[in-house]
A and B are shown apart, each in its own frame.
Chain A
Amino acid sequence: MSRFPRLALVLGLAGLSAVTGLTAIPAVGQAPKSGGVLNIMQREDPPQGFSIHETATISTVWPGMPCFNNLVLFDPLKKTESMDTIIGELAEKWSWQDNYRNLVFFLRKDVKWHDGKPFTSKDVKYTFDMVREAPDAQAKLRINPRKDWYANVEKIEAADPYTVVFHLKRPQPSLLMMLASGYSPVYPAHVPPAELRTTCVGTGPFKLKEWKKGEYIDFVKNADYFVKGRPYLDGLRYIPIQERGTKFAALQSGRLDVAFPGDASKTIADQVTKAEPRIKLTIAHQNVNDNLLLNVTKPPFNNVKVRQAISMAIDRRAAVQAVHQGGAVVGASLAPRPYGVWGLLEKDLAGLPGYGKSADEKARARKLLIEAGFGPANPLKVEMATRNIPIYIDLASFVISELRQVGVEATLKQIETAQWHPLATRKEYQAGPNLTGIGPDDPDANFYENYACGSPRNYTGYCDEQVMKMIDQQSQELDPKKRVQMVWNVQKKLEEDAARPMIDWRLEHYLQWQYVKNLIPHQSIYNYGRMQEVWLDK
């Protein structure tokens, strides 16, 4: 509390962004019933166990979320995530101060870790110092994919046991969005992060009972949970099933109650709901896009004309039909509307390279290629490197067929998963169809991770001073309306530069039995797995 006198806190409280957590969220519609175990589809054993901060995969976030809490979280009962739907978890209240340079969290005092130790501000400082790799961090993550999210945090101060302050280098309203993601749990300071790879000590609504490798992960209700009356369920059982036919047969037969996010294609979802009408289909958004990586650090893709030609050659609407059987939508670098809140308007999108009428775009692509020195006598030869996973190969095959239509001699090179990221990080590829998942639907989370100069996940090597300036400007803009406009401009610029041409955004076809209540898919698959509000109407 040293730097924040009590008066400042009182004033800050007057402008609280939100107040929640003290009272449990009312269930939608019927009166909730307590009891029962939810059987949940899981794709595989979670890589890195429950150490969510050490992965960038839904396979870890999905079974890890019920064990932990965040400072703040996107309201599980609201399908569209935005600044307005953020609610408190470990933070009872929070307040922006000093013109959005300091974010103060007032923590709950009644929270205990699953091993009985009290939760305090030290845990928060420990967690986020570790993630941002602060010089005085008490621990180090083995793998740290989201360090860049916290690059603007200058210091984290545990002002007192129940107050924590994030001091920022410059204003950044989006910090709250990133902290509300399923990727931002608070870890216990007294448990080394390595232990969280095999067990789970959190504050969350469910305690880990047993993880039988390759068979199931069992959680039981946390009887000491700080939200009274929650969770409703007695337990959760995550069952890893690799075979797609088996997992949906298991759902259809009632062996499973809910699906794994992002796993059901439109075709499968249609088949299952037709065969079993009591299974509910919710169409949402995954916040996962199909894109084309073009290595801009080497010829020919260091030439913007060639990149634009490639982007123009790809018919996005045809991709939606051919690759996803209609189960996707077209958009630029942020989730398209109405699913996302930052996506470009249809009229703006139509004017961007590659988003117009296919025949016109292809004609323009051929012209640009000729201008860049490639024609029938000297065709552009491109090796498309992609992971040897069917969803990647399907996408790559489509892109290759599109490029051939404008005279590009594209070939496919399948890469082992183990080799793909070293290759992409070292920029030892020409082009590669790719899938990118983004935690929260937020410009900062996306732009800094995928387009910022030097970011480890900026696989294309695209680095533009003007774009960086635009990204920084939108990041610190406090007026939401102005910021939306600025975010649109960044998106337009990225597509005009064909920095990483977007092909489509995958729609989520989420399946669950009708008796499962309050499990509401959001526009990002990474943020709604807490299970605190879920109950069974059986």
Chain B
Amino acid sequence: MSLVIFVLLRLAPGNMVDILFSTGGYVSESDKAAIEKELGIDRPIWVQYVDWLRDMATGKLGKSYRYDLPAWELIKPLIPVTVELAVLSTIIAILLGVPTGVISAVRQDTSLDYVLRVFSLAGLSMPSFWLGMVIILALVAWIGWIPPITYVSPAENFKIHLVQFLLPALAVGYRSSALITRITRSALLEVMREDYIRTAWAKGQSGRIVIWRHALKNAMLPVITVIGIEFAFLIGGLVVTETVFNLPGVARFLVQAILWRDYPIVQNIVMFIAIVVVLSNLLVDLLYGWFDPRVRYG
């Protein structure tokens, strides 16, 4: 994985020094070579790769070319912002998506089902950044207010912090909820046709028990898979939402670092995202066992 990240990054044209010179409006080949030497990007690629691996092993993560500061010092404060936004968005997506999917399945082919399906389709059709921008523009047009544009930590002011995160989380969560709604609906419809559900109905159990305890629990495996994938996707995919709401998160910083060819920052953030993807998949696998004991017994 580290090799792929390292090589792909260097396939992009130009390097940090080209960007530096573009801010000066000219290029001097001799000065460029001197800066490349200063940054260490004149060395053979494999030497740079080994250096990075060594840095990662020792927890140093290298130094940002652009800011001339340790990469970890720059990345560390960004992680909680993105993780919080991703978690909050996922919670909203689950709270919105699962009940909607259940209602839609239980009331299959009724007008309520159609309304909910249109609602979820709309979510899938609207990019979250667009929705975010609409929210901001609507707020400023109607009430002349937008959330704070500099990060407010929970310790500083929890209420404002929550407001600052709630709107982007809603924009992102709505889109994810649409996917969850559709998967929940189709999975539940399939389970509802199973013999053991028919048996449960025949035993005279209440609808709530049949649906929420027997059917939904067994229909959750594909839903969990989708939630896991969505969460992992959000960590790297919040770029535009973080940009629209001006939140200082990992994703927004990553894009800036890519534009600046700030290799140490990009490599480490991408590696961080890769780790999150692996961990969220692991968590999903563990949850499979909890939802469906048969998985545990193979």
| Chain A contact residues, CB within 8 Å of chain B | 44-45, 47-49, 54-57, 59-60, 142-145, 194, 197-198, 212-216, 237, 239, 241-243, 245-246, 249-250, 252-256, 275-276, 416-422, 425-426, 456-457
Answer whether residue B35 sits at the interface, using C-beta atoms and an 8 A cutoff. Answer: yes
**Interface-located stretch among B92-100, B135-143, B155-163:** B135-143
Name 28 A/B residue pairs within 8 A (Cβ), A-sorted: A47-B20, A47-B23, A47-B66, A48-B20, A57-B23, A212-B248, A214-B78, A214-B248, A214-B253, A216-B150, A242-B246, A243-B243, A243-B244, A243-B246, A245-B133, A245-B136, A246-B149, A253-B140, A255-B149, A275-B141, A416-B14, A417-B14, A417-B259, A419-B13, A420-B22, A422-B14, A456-B27, A457-B25
Chain B residues within an 8 Å CB radius of A60: 23
Q: Which of A142, A275, A422 contacts B31 (CB 8 A)?
A: A142
B253 and chain A: residue at smallest CB distance: A214
Answer whether residue B19 sits at the interface, using C-beta atoms and an 8 A cutoff. Answer: yes
Chain B residues within an 8 Å CB radius of A214: 78, 248, 252-253, 256
Give the Cβ gap from B27 to chain A, nearest Cβ, in Å.
Answer: 4
Give the Cβ gap from A386 to chain B, nearest Cβ, in Å.
Answer: 13
A198 and chain B: residue at smallest CB distance: B68
Q: Which of A142, A215, A425 contacts B27 (CB 8 A)?
A: A425
Chain B residues within an 8 Å CB radius of A457: 25-26
Q: Report the bound CA distance from A282 to B146 in whole Å.
A: 25
11 extra interface residue pairs, beta carbon distance < 8 Å, beyond A44-B256, A56-B23, A145-B24: A47-B19, A47-B20, A142-B31, A144-B24, A213-B67, A239-B150, A253-B140, A418-B12, A418-B14, A418-B19, A456-B26
Interface-centre pick from B21, B252, B253 (highest chain A CB count, 10 A):
B21
Query: Are B19 and A215 in contact, CB atoms less than 8 angstroms apart?
Result: no
Q: Report the bound CA distance from A128 to B149 in whole Å.
A: 39
Query: Are A145 and B25 in contact, CB atoms less than 8 angstroms apart?
Result: yes
Residues 52-74 of B, flagged 1 when their CB comes within 8 A of A and 0 if not, give: 00000000000000111100001
Answer whether residue B207 sits at the interface, using C-beta atoms and an 8 A cutoff. Answer: no
Answer whether residue B144 sits at the interface, using C-beta atoms and an 8 A cutoff. Answer: yes
Chain B residues 17-39 with CB under 8 Å of chain A are 18-28, 31, 35
Chain B residues within an 8 Å CB radius of A198: 67-69
Q: Report the bound CA distance from A466 to B188 in whole Å.
A: 83
A214 and chain B: residue at smallest CB distance: B248
Q: Report the bound CA distance from A417 to B258 in whole Å.
A: 12
B18 and chain A: residue at smallest CB distance: A418
Query: Are A421 and B145 in contact, CB atoms less than 8 angstroms apart?
Result: no
Query: Are A422 and B18 in contact, CB atoms less than 8 angstroms apart?
Result: yes
Q: Report the bound CA distance from A197 to B69 in whole Å.
A: 11
Answer whether residue B288 sits at the interface, using C-beta atoms and an 8 A cutoff. Answer: no
Residues 114-156 of B, flagged 1 when their CB comes within 8 A of A and 0 if not, give: 0000000000000000000100110111001110111100000
Give the Cβ gap from B47 to chain A, nearest Cβ, in Å.
Answer: 22
| Chain B contact residues, CB within 8 Å of chain A | 12-15, 18-28, 31, 35, 66-69, 74, 78, 133, 136-137, 139-141, 144-146, 148-151, 243-246, 248, 252-253, 256, 259, 261
B38 and chain A: residue at smallest CB distance: A142
Q: Report the bound CA distance from A213 to B151 in whole Å.
A: 12
Interface-centre pick from B23, B25, B31, B78 (highest chain A CB count, 10 A):
B25
Chain A residues within an 8 Å CB radius of B35: 142
Give the Cβ gap from B123 to chain A, nearest Cβ, in Å.
Answer: 21
Chain A residues within an 8 Å CB radius of B256: 44-45, 214
Query: Are B248 and A421 in contact, CB atoms less than 8 angstroms apart?
Result: no
Chain B residues within an 8 Å CB radius of A212: 248
Give the Cβ gap from B8 to chain A, nearest Cβ, in Å.
Answer: 16
Q: Report the bound CA distance from A197 to B78 in whole Å.
A: 21
Q: Report the bound CA distance from A85 to B19 in whole Å.
A: 35
Chain B residues within an 8 Å CB radius of A456: 26-28
Q: Which of A142, A144, A246 contacts B244 (CB 8 A)?
A: A246
Give the Cβ gap from A444 to chain B, nearest Cβ, in Å.
Answer: 17
Chain A residues within an 8 Å CB radius of B18: 418-419, 421-422
B144 and chain A: residue at smallest CB distance: A253
Query: Are B146 and A143 in contact, CB atoms less than 8 angstroms apart?
Result: no
Chain A residues within an 8 Å CB radius of B68: 194, 197-198
Chain A residues within an 8 Å CB radius of B253: 214
Give the Cβ gap from B77 to chain A, nearest Cβ, in Å.
Answer: 8
Query: Are A418 and B150 in contact, CB atoms less than 8 angstroms apart?
Result: no
Give the Cβ gap from B273 to chain A, nearest Cβ, in Å.
Answer: 18
Chain A residues within an 8 Å CB radius of B24: 54-56, 143-145
Chain A residues within an 8 Å CB radius of B246: 239, 241-243, 246, 250
Chain A residues within an 8 Å CB radius of B151: 215
Query: Are B26 and A419 in contact, CB atoms less than 8 angstroms apart?
Result: no
Query: Are B14 and A252 in contact, CB atoms less than 8 angstroms apart?
Result: no
9 closest A-B pairs by beta carbon, nearest first, are A418-B14, A456-B26, A145-B24, A47-B23, A143-B24, A418-B18, A56-B25, A425-B27, A249-B140
